[in-house]
Amino acid sequence: MLGQICVRFWTLLGLAILSWSVGGATAAPLEAYATAIATADRQRQALEQMRELTDPSFKALLIALKEGALYTWQGQLLILSDSGAFQDLAGQPILDASSQPFLPDDAVQVPLEEANTPLVQRVLDVISLTDADPKVRRAAALKFGNLHDPAGVGLIEKALMHEGDPSVRSVMDEALNKLMLFDPDPQMRRRTVEHIAAIRAESALALLKSLVEQEQDVAVNQAMQQAITSIEGYLRLRNLIGYVFNGLSLASVLLMMSLGLAITFGLMGVINMAHGEMLMLGSYTAYLVQESFAAYAPGYLDYFFFVALPLSLLVVGAVGLCLEQGLLRFLYGRPLESLLVTWGIGLTLQQAVRLYLGDQTSVNPPTWFRGGWEVLPGLVLPYSRLFIVMLSLLSVIGVYWLLYRSTAGLKIRAVMQNRDIACCMGIAARRIDAFTFAMGAALAGLAGCALSLIGTVDPEVGKTYIVDSFMVVVLGGVGKILGTVLASLGLGMSNKLLEPAISGTAAAVYAKVGILLLVIVFLQLRPTGLFPPRERATEAMTR
Amino acid sequence: MTHGLGLRSLLAASVAVVLGMWMGFAGHLLGNAWAAEPIKVGILHSLSGTMAISETPIKEVVLMAIDEINKAGGVLGRPVEPVIEDPASNWDLFAEKSKKLLQQDKVATVFGCWTSVSRKSVLPVFEQQNGLLFYPVQYEGEECSKNVIYTGATINQQATPAVDYLMSPDGGGKKRFYLIGTDYVYPRTTNKILRLYLTKAKEVKEADIMEEYTPFHHQDYQTIVGKIKSFCAGGDAAVINTINGDSNVPFFKELANQGVTADKCPTISFSFAEVELQTLDVKPLVGHLASWNYFMSMKTPQNVKWVKAYQEWCKKQGIADKQCVTDDPMMHAYIHVKLWAKAVDQAGSTDVEPVLKALEGLEVDSPVGKYKVDEKNHHTWKPVYIGKIREDGQFDIVWRTREWVAPEPWSALTYPGRACDWSGDGKGTFDLVEGKRTWISESR
């Protein structure tokens, strides 16, 4: 309370001095300051006097000055607003005779001296500490924390008194701690260091490391070294957990991509080069659903994903069905032809989508998919990735149940293992083929929809998926769901543990190369993958 | 009666036709004194394929500039006629189409290209045919052709001022930098120069610079964003992003999801402007930065008028409001039409040599104020602005250079002593060895 009164006093004193220097004019403070700012030789003085000002009504004026949107015209100060019309300081638009906004050609821009730019920024930062928007307050607090300017302590303490938002409070607290490391009193410094060690503030680590070399006080120095070891130890553990989650997440992405292929290629033996495009169609279905929600039901935009997910499954499944019925069923047992035909279909789909839906589209995750779950300070598991992990688990369980626990699955396995005998048993093999292929495509569509949460939606996105998918299926052993699961887990994990282990500027590139080499070596040793199919199934494949 | 009238009018018509033919013939003999024969100019931008989204608006703004010139009486009293070719984002086709424009249509100049690879592919055609190309996009430099006017930014007109901003108190006094890019020529060249600039001119420690590249179409940025997050936690850090195209989407989504916000650790990018932002999910990008020579949100009366003119043009062409935005390459494209027209008027001819002479040091008014072609090196002088991305896909301008920044096609940091001069008896790129110019074209 006392601080507040002090500020009032200083502001009033500042204004008193200013009004005196402006020439005893009784103009409103905003206008007085504005006139002073617009006068070249008074600009610096006026800005200096505004140093501790927290009045938000000055914000527009200062931003305009900084952006070069402040003009003088016929002795009047005007701000060129976002809408492209001139406004006076009170925010009223300047209108011509026909009450239309107009742009006078002879308006003169108010120049901002280069040396004064930091002053303007400083005043804006102080005002931002008490801004209505918590994001702005947080940014300002962060900035003060990094400035190493002891004058910030008082300002932040003052702001903390009125701060209600916990996330802003914690940032302010951290900034305050960093600034107090520069306190002249060693007792104070030691307490601050101990506090930092207790909250394991990663943000203070670099500062501590640079300060520990200069610290004269033995007790503080020791506390600093302890704090550094404890923070670093925590970071190592946290990073390891992070890498494991990254690996798990990549594994689930790979699994989503390749589950469909494990069925069409693994079970049926159709080399479907358009598998990537099935994924792409799934992504575009999500995009179209989102766009129609935005157009017809903008209030429910956040729920579009619930519609998009099942719809992409159905739409792409239907496309797969058409593909099988229209083309692929004539090509069974001719792998080369089906390879070429599906590749051609892939190209056609790419260009068709490009033509009708455009190139750079993106699916905006619903608001509750943004951000993530902070399991440990500084370790955030994004909700979208957690969702994909869950979805891939559910898909595997679903596929397993369908193949091994349902009548349809029994028929599918019968046809795939021995077509002729299955036909003798009265199973309609043709219909089973069509159903199986459609199921593979539908899974790809589901994957495409889910992956649009974290990736791009563009016509060529299939290319980025197809190679990885084939790698997973081949590595897992053609025809085995369990193999596919384990292969994607292995690939994802080793990729994400390899990447941080490689130093240099292109770790992501070399990790990919490393993985490919590993796969090559592995397939040399076990050409049939992790789980080789049994003999009879192999026969059925080469029919 | 009717019969008589018909005969007479038939007679009159045939006389008129014969007369007209004669006049046309005479007009042809006398050059263009009577009938103003149009001047053909080529527009070579992809209107289909991956680049269409960026290049189609460029075509529109060039057409608008031509329309304005024609309404004001044309160039040398002759109307300007655009010949539009679509190279379909295919760089082989760029070379073919430019050959067609120069040889078959005999255009006076070509406005075109976007990617560096498309420019490199048409370069030999323009040099062989002695054509004239205006190129509107920022690029990695290290090129200075006699037949090209480069209006986009060189690295010192976009990337290095971005560093100046980040290190200034305005930009938060950043001292540590994470350079991330796609693994190809533009990011590698930019980062090579930036690293030298940071360590030599700005005294940043090598240990405070991280550099990382990902392959094209990279999708999984978990590890890299994790690294960036740890790096940023150290404070005073910023990310300089030269990731290409589609990979930006997963990159920024990951940044947002892992909580690397712009206030803690801003990312500055050089490759997306207003046009690209209209098609992206802007939310994860809000608060991050971009460096350009122009922003649509610039608050000058000239710009407000220009944007209004373009919006009216959109309405006439039936372009949807959402897509009707202006950006940096569009501004450059508009200006280069104006530059060309002014140069032709001054030269009194559309021939390449006199037009190039007239372009040396030529100034025109632009939405960013005065705009000037360098006296020597075929690049242009312009101010640099830093913008902060807003939710509506526009930018808040947070910083600008005081003066025009001079173009440096060859960075003094990577090629000390190398520069370019086409004025007088200049022969292009040269190395300054012991105070003497050694022309690269001659030393080969």
Residue A226 forms part of a structural domain: no
Task: Tell how many helices (H) and how many strands (E) occur in chain B.
Answer: 13, 18
CA distance B65 to A532: 67
Q: Which of B169, B233, B258 sits opposite A121 (nearest CB)?
A: B169
Q: Where does the pLDDT of residue A265 fall: very low under 50, low under 70, confident under 90, or very high at 90 and above? A: confident
Same domain, A200 and A262: no
Strand partners, A415: none
The beta strands (E) that lie in A50-124 are given as 70-73, 76-80, 86-87, 108-109
CA distance B391 to A13: 40
* B contacts of A103 (beta carbons < 8 Å): 301, 304-305
Residue A409 forms part of a structural domain: yes
Residue A266, judged by CB atoms within 10 A of its CB (0-12, 13-18, 19+), counts as: buried
From the list B294, B444, B317, the residue with the least C-alpha distance to B368 is B294
- Write out the DSSP string of B10-69: HHHHHHHHHHHHHHHHHHHHTTTSSS-PPEEEEEE---SSTTHHHHHHHHHHHHHHHHHH
Mean pLDDT across chain A: 83
Domains in chain B (CATH in brackets) are 35-153+296-387 (3.40.50.2300), 159-269 (3.40.50.2300)
Same domain, A184 and A305: no
The reply to whether A146 touches chain B by the CB within 8 Å rule is: yes
Helix (H) or strand (E) holding B213: strand B209-214
Mean pLDDT of A237-250: 90
Mean pLDDT of A452-472: 86
* A contacts of B400 (beta carbons < 8 Å): 68
Q: What is the pLDDT of residue A27?
A: 42
Q: What is the pLDDT of residue A94?
A: 77
Mean pLDDT of A273-295: 92
Residue A301 forms part of a structural domain: yes
**Count of A-B CB contacts under 8 Å:** 169
Contact B305, A103 (CB under 8 A): yes
Q: Where does the pLDDT of residue A15 fall: very low under 50, low under 70, confident under 90, or very high at 90 and above? A: very low
Residue numbers in chain B where pLDDT is lower than 50 = 1-5, 27-34
Same domain, A421 and A460: yes
Same domain, A276 and A308: yes
Q: What is the pLDDT of residue A527?
A: 83
Q: What is the pLDDT of residue A26?
A: 37
Question: Which residues touch A406 (CB under 8 Å, ≥6 apart)?
Answer: none
Same domain, A414 and A381: yes
Residue A531 forms part of a structural domain: no
Same domain, A314 and A263: yes
Residue A481 forms part of a structural domain: no
The reply to whether A207 touches chain B by the CB within 8 Å rule is: yes
- Domain end point (choices A446, A467, A488): A467
For A8, A19, A34, A49, A58, the CA distances from A28, given in Å and listed in that order, are 17, 9, 10, 16, 12
Same domain, A121 and A141: no
Same domain, A111 and A158: no
Q: Where does the pLDDT of residue A309 fall: very low under 50, low under 70, confident under 90, or very high at 90 and above? A: very high
Least confident of A48-52, A102-106, A402-406, B35-39: A102-106
| Structural domain boundaries, residue A410 | 247-467
Residue A108 forms part of a structural domain: yes
> Could A508 and B214 be called an inter-chain contact, meaning their C-beta atoms sit closer than 8 Å?
yes
* B contacts of A80 (beta carbons < 8 Å): 299-301, 304
> Could A454 and B250 be called an inter-chain contact, meaning their C-beta atoms sit closer than 8 Å?
yes
The beta strands (E) that lie in B133-195 are given as 133-135, 148-150, 176-182
Q: Which of B170, B250, B402 sits opposite A456 (nearest CB)?
A: B250
Same domain, A337 and A272: yes
> Could B301 and A364 be called an inter-chain contact, meaning their C-beta atoms sit closer than 8 Å?
no
Same domain, A204 and A251: no
Q: Which residue of A has its CA nearest to B307?
A: A84
Mean pLDDT of A204-220: 82
Q: Which residue of B has its CA nearest to A171?
A: B264
State yes or no: pLDDT of A16 exceeds 70.
no
Please give the tally of structural domains in chain A.
3
Residue A19 forms part of a structural domain: yes
- Of A123 and B113, more confident: B113
Same domain, A275 and A295: yes
- Residue B109 CB neighbours (<10 A): 27
Same domain, A270 and A408: yes
Residue A72 forms part of a structural domain: yes
- Here the ipTM equals 0.74
- Domain end point (choices A76, A95, A128): A128
Q: Where does the pLDDT of residue A347 fall: very low under 50, low under 70, confident under 90, or very high at 90 and above? A: very high
